[in-house]
Amino acid sequence: MQINLDEIKRMLGVFIDAPGPFITIKELGFVDEEDQEKLDVAIGHFLLIVENGLISNMQLVTGDAKAVGLHMTPRNFSYVATPLRLTQAGHDFINVLNQRPVFEKLKKEAQEAPFAVLRKLGEALTEKILKDKLGLKSGD
């Protein structure tokens, strides 16, 4: 499965659009998906978000699918309505993805890069754009 930045952005955007600091897996919109291929893609991307520490539970536990309410077996999954929140890393990454020129550049030229590299490149591009907007030199 290739990383789909649109799917990552969609999921993280649910957290940003929520009225409060917590949501549940159900609000991400994939638990009732009947198309197995779409479900697999959604779960795969949700697990990327989890393992990269972009979300946590109320006790700030990251990187653990069970801690955020997803229980998996080889043939299916179940979930618990665990309150989930964006971590600071999650906020930073969705803010990067919400910068249209950065998002488009990452999708076009770096889609196949490792997740950690996507994050670093996105941060570097965002920093450059902001410095240009603020009239700062690269060393500032």
Q: Are residues 24 and 53 in the same domain?
A: yes
C-alpha to C-alpha distance for 50 and 65, rounded to whole angstroms: 7
- Per the structure, the count of domains in the chain is 2
Instruction: Tell me how far CA of residue 117 lies from CA of 12, 27, 67, 78, 104, in angstroms.
Output: 18, 28, 26, 31, 16
pLDDT at residue number 91: 97
In this structure, is residue 99 part of a structural domain? yes
In this structure, is residue 139 part of a structural domain? no
Q: Are residues 40 and 74 in the same domain?
A: yes
pLDDT at residue number 112: 87
C-alpha to C-alpha distance for 85 and 20, rounded to whole angstroms: 9
Output the tens digit of pLDDT for each of the chain's 140 residues: 889 999 999 999 999 999 999 999 999 998 888 888 998 899 999 999 999 999 999 999 999 999 999 998 877 888 999 999 999 999 999 999 999 999 999 999 888 899 999 999 999 999 999 899 898 876 65
C-alpha to C-alpha distance for 116 and 37, rounded to whole angstroms: 25
Q: Are residues 50 and 80 in the same domain?
A: yes
∠77-35-21 over CA atoms, to 5°? 55
